[in-house]
Amino acid sequence: MRFCALGSGSEGNALLVEYRGDPGIAPTRILLDCGFGLRALTSRLAALDLAPADLHAIFVTHEHGDHVGGAYTVARRCAAPLFMSRGTYVSSGGEAEGVEAQVVAAGVAQSVGDIEVMPWAVPHDAREPVQFSFSAGGRRLAVLTDLGSITPGVLRMVSGVDALVLECNHDEAMLRDSAYPYSLKQRILGAWGHLSNTQAAALLEQADTTRLRAVHAAHLSQSNNQPALARAALAQALGAQEEDIGVLEQHAVGRWISV
């Protein structure tokens, strides 16, 4: 199994998960979130020599535009099923012509090809947000962004994974000193907002990371964080080198990361 970020941040999120089992069988490809329009997503996929038609399913974490904005359009174009929670389904407009929308529930796994996808409930200011882990070939990837606090369920989601994409939205000092309105600062800092570098590091310190081989910081604020700060926080929590920590970018397609 491997994954590649097509973009990560408040301007749009999308991450591709791929698994090829038998060399003679075509790989299964799942798109996690689709905060880009069809043209932008097509361009980003083209950087990997892929097209929307190569997607087998789209999973959406919640209804905020930077995660679901292009999901219905892309699902219609590639004729791939669109999976989301009941709350996200209702908040995103529900049924749409030409789209096979399916509702998922936290704790109930879905299978797409040889990939098992598990939804996990998280605390975020959306109607029924979930995050997802992906299992195939004896390996597990967890993608954990857009949450404001660490819960027992979040710890279970992260513990024992082989690879982790983890929100490091902001540096708390930068955010408090920023020009953001007070109400927005409180939303981001709150228990239903976004994880800071410090909170992300605390999660790693509490979780079982004995199998963890790859960690990538995600959803960094362009105004209130810096890649070096996120890397330093996660590296210290893991006792690793800063260069061992990846950072997903907003405006560039990443490289394939094997799990």
Alpha-carbon span 12 to 18, nearest angstrom: 20
Residue 2 pLDDT grade (very low, low, confident, very high; cuts 50, 70, 90): very high
Print the domain residue range for 216: 2-258
Task: Work out the pLDDT band at 25, boundaries 50, 70, 90.
Answer: confident
DSSP secondary structure letters along 56-121: -EEE---SSHHHHTTHHHHHHHHT--EEEEHHHHHHTTS--TT--EEEE-TT--EEETTEEEEEEE
Write the secondary structure of 113-141 as one string of H (helix), E (strand) and C (coil): CCEEEEEEECCCCCCCCEEEEEEECCEEE
User: What's the CA gap between 216 and 206, in Å, rounded?
Assistant: 17
Q: What single letter denotes the amino acid at residue 122?
A: V
Structure tokens at 10: 């408040």
Q: What is the CATH number of the domain that holds 55?
A: 3.60.15.10
Q: Specify which residues 29 forms β-bridges with.
A: 18
Answer whether residue 245 shows pLDDT above 90. yes
Total domain count, the chain: 1
**Straight-line distance from the first to the last Cα atom of the chain, in angstroms, rounded to the nearest whole number:** 6
For the cut 90, the answer to whether the pLDDT of residue 24 exceeds it is no
pLDDT given at position 23: 80
Other CB atoms within 10 Å distance of the CB of residue 258: 11
Q: Tell me the pTM.
A: 0.97
CB contact set of 54 (below 8 Å; sequence gap of 6+): 29, 45, 78
232: enclosing H helix or E strand: helix 227-238
